[in-house]
Amino acid sequence: MTEQQTEQQATSEQQPVVLKFGGTSVKDAEAMRRVVEIVERKRGNHPVVVTSACAGVTDMLLSTARCGGTGDLNGALQNVRHLRQRHLEILGDLGLPLERSCQEELTELLHEIEQLARGVVLLGELTPRTLDAFASFGERLSSLLLGDAFRAAGWDVAVADSRQFIITDSNFVNASPLMPEIDAHVAEHLIPLVQRHEVVVAQGFIGRTLNGITTTIGRGGSDHTGALVGAALHATEIQIWTDVSGILTADPRAVPQAAVVPHVTFTEARELAWFGAKVIHPDTIVPAVERAIPVVIKNSMRPDDAGTRILPDGSPISCGIHSITSKRGMISVMLGPRDPRATSLGFQKALGIFAAHNLPIQCAAVAEARAIITVESAGFNDVILAGLEADYAVELMPEMAVIGLIGAGLRSQPGIISTPLSALGAIPISFVVAGSSDHIILLGVAEQHATEALQRTHSALFE
Using the rule CB under 6 A, give the single segment among 215-223, 289-297, 299-307, 440-448 that binds ligand ASP.
Answer: 215-223
Question: Rule CB under 6 A: is residue 47 a binding residue for ligand ASP?
Answer: no
Using the rule CB under 5 A, give the single segment among 97-105, 195-203, 206-214, 217-225 that binds Mg ion.
Answer: 217-225
- Residue 423: closest CA among 459, 462, 463, 450: 459
Question: Rule CB under 5 A: is residue 246 a binding residue for Mg ion?
Answer: no
Q: How far is the CB of 162 from Mg ion (least distance, A)?
A: 16
The site map against ligand ADP for 193-222 (x = CB under 6 A) is: ---------------------------x--
Closer residue to ligand ASP (CB): 225 or 236: 225
Q: From ligand ASP, ligand ADP, Mg ion, none, which one binds at residue 58 (CB under 5 to 8 Å depending on kind)?
A: ligand ASP
Question: Rule CB under 6 A: is residue 203 a binding residue for ligand ASP?
Answer: no
Question: Rule CB under 6 A: is residue 182 a binding residue for ligand ADP?
Answer: no
| CA–CA dist 40, 51 (Å, integer) | 16
Question: Rule CB under 6 A: is residue 204 a binding residue for ligand ASP?
Answer: yes
The site map against ligand ADP for 240-279 (x = CB under 6 A) is: --xxx--xx-xxxx-----------------------xxx
Residue pair 58/138 in contact (Cβ under 8 Å)? The answer is: yes
Question: Rule CB under 6 A: is residue 225 a binding residue for ligand ADP?
Answer: no
Q: How far is the CB of 410 from Mg ion (least distance, A)?
A: 26
Alpha-carbon distances of 152 from 29, 93, 98, rounded to whole Å: 11, 11, 11
Cβ-in-10-Å burial (0-12, 13-18, 19+) of 18 comes to: buried
Q: From ligand ASP, Mg ion, ligand ADP, none, which one binds at residue 205 (CB under 5 to 8 Å depending on kind)?
A: ligand ASP
Question: Rule CB under 5 A: is residue 220 a binding residue for Mg ion?
Answer: yes
| CA–CA dist 122, 420 (Å, integer) | 56
Residue pair 310/440 in contact (Cβ under 8 Å)? The answer is: no
- Footprint of ligand ASP on this chain (CB under 6 A)? 22-23, 52-53, 58, 138, 204-205, 219-222
- Footprint of Mg ion on this chain (CB under 5 A)? 22, 220
